[in-house]
Structure 1
Amino acid sequence: MVFTSAVWALALLSLPLFSCAKATIDQQIMSLENSNPGFLQYPTQLTQNVMPKFIHSHNDYWRDVPLLEAISLGVMSVEADVNLFNGTLFIGHENAALTPNRTFDSLYVQPLLQILNAQNPKTPFTVNQTTPNGVFDTASGTPLQLLVDIKTDGVETLPFILQALQPLRAGGFLTTFANGTLNTSAVTVIGTGNSPLEQVKALSPRDYFFDAPLTQLDDPSLNTTWDPTLSPIASTDYEVAVGWSGIGNISDAQLANLTKFVNDAHTRGIKARYWDTPAWPINARTNVWKVLMDNGADWLNVDDLEAASSF
């Protein structure tokens, strides 16, 4: 029997609606996303699928969007250069870079407070939660490290920084050492640059820590017992301490220095960071990163966050 097009059309019209092709799973997903039902969202999904990494965002305030760009790439440590002028903390490496609206509060404290409030919703499900979530949804117990590089006089500036941190302190979001106990929370604040060591040592309770000198941890003239309750990290200038350019082979002496200082920190429970590592040529930079990671350096101090996050 030969079917004409008209006969085919009549046959198709006579089929019941449920005999049409089944929706694929992609179509189901699209349908749900378009209808936007409430069960597709959850409160702490701001950093959904972001995997935290031991990367330090050097001069983080240089980013197009400070703090958020770093967090979006899983960067676990950021750095803010802080300058005190007329009672306000401004962000920038030097005076010519300062502007009235780029402050420690606007670029770091308030964004962190907003993120952490979102990551710690007040619901019937969280009534008995005693430890706040950090910024990373994939690892809520992982703290963000905030290095405060004081550029102005440290003794004068420190009280203003401690005051500026009050909103985070009030929320219970700051790592704190008190009564002999170190309580890790969502943000660990560490002073570097002109941060005054003796004033930081005297803080009780302490929620502003000190970036220890990586090459001087066994120097008795500093009259300091270095441990994580004072210094969660220790840092030094890579060029001075190691000096390998990343081109050719690292010498035995250079590698011995690198590992010695890392081991000095690790025996005290402190993480090690080398700053001012080579940035160019790119292959040299990558070679240095690999040697640092292979030999125990904890933090990768970088400017190119995207390259480091995929390293």
Structure 2
Amino acid sequence: MTAPGRLLTVLLTGLAALGLVTAPAGAAPAHQVRPLAQAHAHNDYEHPRPLLDALDAGFTSVEADIYAESGQLLVGHDPDDLTPDRTLERLYLEPLRQRVLANHGHVYPRRAPFQLLVDVKSAADPAYAALERRLRNPRFSFLFTSYDAGRVRQGAVTVVLSGNRPKDVLLAQRSRLAFYDGRIADPADLGPGSDARVTPLVSDNWTKLFSWTGTGEFPSAERTRLHELVRVAHRAGQRVRFWATPDTPGPARTAVWQELATAGVDHLNTDDLAGLAAFLGTR
């Protein structure tokens, strides 16, 4: 551990011992939760307790849609869903800050990596500029994985941009606290032609790449393709996620999750926190 890292650990331990930092209200005791490495909470903000429900279930990746509106970053799926009190800071950044302080520098005591996938719904450049100001705020900046002059330093939380994401802006930055969600179908994003220091995650719509949705046998050619895509991504140091996979409880969803998990897909996408937690708990 570096000297700054030791200093941060000592500081956080001292604050916790003095009772100056606590877990977010209503959260389950963190030491009782087993982090689930493959669990991704899609549209996490739609749960009764955004972020906190996912943390209680052991999820290690959550997704928040944002709009840059009137100087705020508001969280919601559609413009009609937005309200002034549902900001990225209130729903995600501040609870994560409290959690990391309480757990001595980590989201979970077991030090599992944690991803905050920020899906930008409004115009890319102004939304990213507003997001970057918040990430660099000293109140939050210590939380995040950083890129500086070609080197990545792992933090408690890795922020990855999806949706409307300004790749050229990210590529031009010498220093940043956010990364890029590439597309599996784009050769410039997937594998050796990409750079995991920019694009550590590649995602895509399952139904655009595969015809099988869990009913009947998984076509052998499609299974081979899935395993090859994961292999190419992993060799390049990238993680893999699919959205639009079946998410209605039943045999079809279970069959797809089994194939994804067996292939080594890094993030299984769901709106059903309990369902995915139960599935992963049996593996």
Aligned residue for 1:266, secondary structure, equals helix
TM (norm. structure 2) is 0.84
Asked whether 1:253 is paired with 2:221, we answer yes
Of 158, 165, 172, which residue of structure 2 is paired with 1:195? 165
Of 43, 48, 71, which residue of structure 2 is paired with 1:64? 48
Asked whether 1:205 is paired with 2:169, we answer no
Give the stretch that moved more between structures: 144-153 or 240-249. 240-249
- C-alpha separation in 1, matches of 2:93 and 2:30: 18
- C-alpha separation in 1, matches of 2:158 and 2:188: 25
2:258 match: 290
- C-alpha separation in 2, matches of 1:117 and 1:168: 14
Q: Report how many aligned residue pairs link the two structures.
A: 254
| Unmatched runs of 5 consecutive residues or more in structure 1 | 1-37, 121-132
Q: C-alpha displacement at 1:296, in angstroms?
A: 1.8
- C-alpha separation in 1, matches of 2:141 and 2:130: 18
Asked whether 1:136 is paired with 2:115, we answer no
TM (norm. structure 1) is 0.77
Q: Which runs of 4+ in 1 moved over 2 A?
A: 42-46, 166-171
Aligned residue for 2:170, secondary structure, equals helix
- C-alpha separation in 1, matches of 2:157 and 2:226: 28
- The verdict on how the C-alpha distance between 1:77 and 1:170 changes in structure 2, with shifts beyond 3 A counting, is closer
Aligned residue for 1:310, secondary structure, equals helix
Q: How does 1:100-115 map to 2 (within 5 A)?
A: 100-115=84-99
Q: C-alpha displacement at 1:165, in angstroms?
A: 1.6
Asked whether 1:242 is paired with 2:210, we answer yes
- The verdict on how the C-alpha distance between 1:219 and 1:119 changes in structure 2, with shifts beyond 3 A counting, is closer
Question: What is the alpha-carbon root mean square deviation over aligned residues?
Answer: 2.2
- C-alpha separation in 1, matches of 2:171 and 2:221: 34
1:51 match: 34
- C-alpha separation in 1, matches of 2:100 and 2:184: 31
Aligned residue for 2:254, secondary structure, equals helix
- C-alpha separation in 2, matches of 1:268 and 1:160: 30
Q: C-alpha displacement at 1:169, in angstroms?
A: 6.8
1:9 match: none
Q: C-alpha displacement at 1:168, in angstroms?
A: 6.3
Code of the residue aligned with 1:236 in structure 2: it is D
1:83-118 deviation per Cα after TM superposition (whole angstroms, max 9, x unaligned) = 011111100010111111111111111111121222
Q: C-alpha displacement at 1:176, in angstroms?
A: 0.8
Of 65, 71, 74, which residue of structure 2 is paired with 1:87? 71
Q: How does 1:29-40 map to 2 (within 5 A)?
A: none
Q: C-alpha displacement at 1:171, in angstroms?
A: 5.0
- C-alpha separation in 2, matches of 1:168 and 1:241: 42
1:193-233 deviation per Cα after TM superposition (whole angstroms, max 9, x unaligned) = 001111121222121000011122x349x9x9423211221
Of 161, 164, 168, which residue of structure 1 is paired with 2:131? 161
- C-alpha separation in 2, matches of 1:78 and 1:281: 20
Does the 8 Å CA contact 2:22/2:99 hold for their aligned counterparts? Answer: no
Aligned residue for 1:289, secondary structure, equals helix
Does the 8 Å CA contact 1:289/1:300 hold for their aligned counterparts? Answer: yes
1:96 match: 80
Q: C-alpha displacement at 1:248, in angstroms?
A: 0.3
Aligned residue for 2:143, secondary structure, equals coil
- C-alpha separation in 1, matches of 2:128 and 2:143: 19
Code of the residue aligned with 2:89 in structure 1: it is D
| Unmatched runs of 5 consecutive residues or more in structure 2 | 1-16
What is the aligned-residue identity percentage?
34
1:185 match: 155
Code of the residue aligned with 1:71 in structure 2: it is L
- C-alpha separation in 2, matches of 1:83 and 1:230: 23
Does the 8 Å CA contact 1:228/1:270 hold for their aligned counterparts? Answer: yes
